[in-house]
Structure 1
């Protein structure tokens, strides 16, 4: 589905934020050795990853600086998804390059959820550190991580939020074991400042660096009683977007009249409150404005330190978010609004203003980072490197992607299924609660055709793929199955 902001004419002049990016993508050398000749320069690229929390794809239209710096100057991967659309499983995928059946994190909490479910010994920080990179993490880490828990190995600068993670105004960073608290401040601005400080510190050394800067916005806020509240804006943004209309209101799936054919997650829900949806959407936009400014500030810092031309800058969200589609507000469901995420990349050799419709997922990103750095991870990665896509080359890509959601009880699983260019299919344990959407004929996923006799052959084919991917690992997660059959009569 095309992003809403593509349909209008974008006009934006941002002076002095970004020079032309250098040509020539740094290819993967295939070596993980950090040993170099004495006095030789280490010209491997830097990698900086900026991530938001719960941002859906179309909200990028309200981030003009990020669009100018990364869309106009880099590549927009328009079919990028979070294949496990919930905070902690998505973040675990990004530090391991593995699906939940392999890294252990199936939900935010419960016996198979949260930071406690992840073995922290062998993650992306270790791979890059052992390969001679400087490494840094700043912002929101996996759910449940606190100051009392062990520091994952491999991070030179370890600065996650450990208290007031969802407060926005009163919070604490671990600060490499010397906690630093903020009161009546703003979390996005604090992450911006700490990220820029890390860039300046890393730039003073000869080694390349990997830096993760993971923001809280536009995730909902938790108040003092741990109740959900609207995300808080920075002071200068509190009166903005008072008339902005949520795109979800204009979708056929919004407040869907008949959800009797829909899966359990959508059935038996009340019609969403339009005023609540408007208020949440506008609050989310306000919270994203500070992230938009932080991206511009980061680019300025990279430029002033002389590192911009040799840095790959990634912008993404951990998962998408529904705002009333199928009567649902939230995530952790298998619907396009939860799966689709923004994924923008700018860096050496990436064609400015380019786009790619190649299937991409968060699981692919660690493989991509490793390929750009020329290192070999010690975990078996379930994703594919996107470097050929970034080069604009024809790439061998999967035609069927595993998608799944978790639960905080039982075996930790909820829906598990597959997504192709045309179909989304999933079931729960015991093959119950099946859902099958034909997104070519029904792009808003308002008709579940799992029980439609015309789709019997389609369902059989997709069920076979689902079963083969449920326990996949490594290359077996990326097989090409071929074109699924058409419905009978087409």
Structure 2
């Protein structure tokens, strides 16, 4: 019989958590198919959540949502730079002592992190204040966060150190293994966050060096830079030529519908950009392999949950768009999530709806810590039995929101500007076996509706004057469905906590409606004709400014909008 040492025995008493967070990794452009170690260690030994969504398709707001369990309209961190986002905004909103690592430490866990935490976390402000909640950390810092061959890391409370000439992901891999060893030596259960920049664009922002985080016009984007050993892989590979890739017909609404078709020069450049992303992900894939090898050597794998996801998705050429994110199309919001650990079904897939608001509750539940009443999400089921139950009972909606600009991270070709302003919107997804809908209201009050059952590429905006709306959608009259979606989005645009999880119950406090299908019952027709509200912006803004966002569900006394005397609705 082999006796375990005391360190291993204690670490087996409570589960450890390793959280791997890539940057801008797509699901719909097939990036996971080029990562054999992720497939070997995670996909084949864990559960893939095929309907996992970010709620804001932009780095910093998304990461704050992950670590706070709250939608961006409740964190008020809505951009990547001040005044509406970035690390300074995270601090000013009082979140530095109200996020996941602090809660884990309060529950007796040691917490470790290396890589990118938030945007605008820089060589000027990393100590003003230090990021709270970390037992040990080694953060990437601006303005060098996205400089693959000139990164700067800052460990604990030491001064920043430059790693010029070394690939950032390779440096990160060494630091991650070092923190893992440090965690084991401490003989306490641990959380380890690992956040490589791959496959984000390579960026140089000279203004950031002087603390000028808001000067986005000076940012120099270029394709991600792979390690030299990967630089010639995947020759000839191209962006998947789906129906929505550089289409000959415009789609969507607002600025997207005005985009010209891309020239062959642009398409060729974007294929190169795509290959550079795949090549850069090879370092991430190797890092994943090294983490699993170390866990096996330490005999910790059986008692460790490994969560693999990304902050947001990515598009390259879809809907004629240049490389970037920040939209509510599937490429940008439907993203990888794979979880492996004790009791998690192996080599399994699920279509239950999960979002980034669910990750903090999930991790706290895994470690046995109390959940917070103000979470906008709920924990993700991780056993065969609970997953089967969730397939029948879990909510079907996703809240999506964005403020400010949309960027072009590729070359400025085809008269395509670096930034598109007025990319502020509220959107939702509603998904079941019967329907698959995407509904959005832009800040100029243009609207779009896509039926992904018949139009998976989201090429036909059924609410645009140039399109012919069907008589029926989702098994009901078209206008009837739109009115229900209007009311649902009206709740979600400013929801908090339970309202975000069960929005139909805010509309129907009797608790007799939990889905679009139930809301479409003819017995509610008069109710929605009388009470339906639409999202209407007063103006476009670069961040979350309440008086620009039109009527609010609670603010205007619209809760409840259910008349209890209409007993036939109950």
Same fold per TM (> 0.5)?
Answer: yes
Could you say what the CA RMSD is over the residues aligned between the two structures, in angstroms?
A: 2.2
**CA separation of 1:64/1:265 partners in 2, compared to 1, >3 Å: closer, same or farther?**
farther
CA contact (8 A) 2:344 2:383 kept: no
- Structure 1 residue 478 displacement after superposition: 1.1
Corresponding residue of 2:480: 457
- Structure 1 residue 378 displacement after superposition: 5.0
Bigger radius of gyration, 1 or 2? Answer: 2
Query: What are structure 1's unaligned runs of at least 5 residues?
Result: 1-38
- Structure 1 residue 287 displacement after superposition: 0.2
Corresponding residue of 2:156: 176
Pair 1:196-2:177 in alignment: yes
CA contact (8 A) 1:127 1:377 kept: no
Q: Would you identify which runs of 4 or more consecutive aligned residues in structure 1 move more than 6 Å?
A: 39-42
Pair 1:394-2:389 in alignment: yes
Query: What are structure 2's unaligned runs of at least 5 residues?
Result: 1-8, 207-218, 407-420, 472-477, 505-513, 521-570
Corresponding residue of 1:9: none
- Structure 1 residue 408 displacement after superposition: 5.7
State the alpha-carbon separation in 1 of the partners of residues 10 and 88 from structure 2: 41
Tell me whether 172-181 or 310-319 shows the greater mean CA deviation: 172-181
Corresponding residue of 1:365: 359
Tell me whether 394-403 or 184-193 shows the greater mean CA deviation: 394-403
| Partner deviation per Cα, 1:440-482 (whole Å, 9 max, x = no partner) | 0111100001253633222111110001111111121111531
The one of 42, 49, 55 equivalent to 2:25 is 55
Tell me whether 44-53 or 217-226 shows the greater mean CA deviation: 217-226
**CA separation of 1:461/1:362 partners in 2, compared to 1, >3 Å: closer, same or farther?**
same
CA contact (8 A) 2:484 2:516 kept: no
Corresponding residue of 1:327: 320
CA contact (8 A) 2:83 2:89 kept: yes
State the alpha-carbon separation in 1 of the partners of residues 516 and 459 from structure 2: 23
State the alpha-carbon separation in 1 of the partners of residues 300 and 134 from structure 2: 20
CA contact (8 A) 1:110 1:408 kept: no
State the alpha-carbon separation in 1 of the partners of residues 162 and 360 from structure 2: 31
Corresponding residue of 2:122: 146
What secondary structure does 1:435 align onto? strand
Corresponding residue of 2:211: none
Equivalences for 1:30-429 in 2 at 5 Å? 43-57=13-27, 58-118=30-90, 119-147=95-123, 148=125, 149-163=128-142, 164-178=144-158, 179-223=160-204, 226-247=219-240, 250-259=241-250, 262-272=252-262, 273-329=266-322, 330-377=324-371, 380-388=374-382, 392-395=387-390, 396-407=393-404, 414-421=424-431, 422-429=436-443
Count of aligned pairs between the two proteins: 444
State the alpha-carbon separation in 1 of the partners of residues 255 and 482 from structure 2: 20
What secondary structure does 1:337 align onto? helix
| Partner deviation per Cα, 1:270-299 (whole Å, 9 max, x = no partner) | 223210111000000000000000000000
CA contact (8 A) 2:10 2:187 kept: no
CA contact (8 A) 1:42 1:206 kept: no
What secondary structure does 2:172 align onto? helix
Which has the bigger relative contact order, CA under 8 A and spacing at least 6?
A: 1
State the alpha-carbon separation in 2 of the partners of residues 269 and 412 from structure 1: 15
State the alpha-carbon separation in 1 of the partners of residues 303 and 349 from structure 2: 21
| Partner deviation per Cα, 1:138-171 (whole Å, 9 max, x = no partner) | 1011110124231122110122111411100111
CA contact (8 A) 1:435 1:449 kept: yes
State the alpha-carbon separation in 1 of the partners of residues 305 and 453 from structure 2: 34
State the alpha-carbon separation in 1 of the partners of residues 114 and 498 from structure 2: 31
CA contact (8 A) 2:405 2:424 kept: no
**CA separation of 1:442/1:389 partners in 2, compared to 1, >3 Å: closer, same or farther?**
farther
What secondary structure does 1:296 align onto? helix
TM-score (norm 1): 0.86
| Partner deviation per Cα, 1:155-192 (whole Å, 9 max, x = no partner) | 10122111411100111111112122212001101111
Corresponding residue of 1:10: none
**CA separation of 1:216/1:437 partners in 2, compared to 1, >3 Å: closer, same or farther?**
same
TM-score (norm 2): 0.74
**CA separation of 1:276/1:305 partners in 2, compared to 1, >3 Å: closer, same or farther?**
same
**CA separation of 1:274/1:433 partners in 2, compared to 1, >3 Å: closer, same or farther?**
same
**CA separation of 1:389/1:471 partners in 2, compared to 1, >3 Å: closer, same or farther?**
farther
CA contact (8 A) 1:111 1:408 kept: no
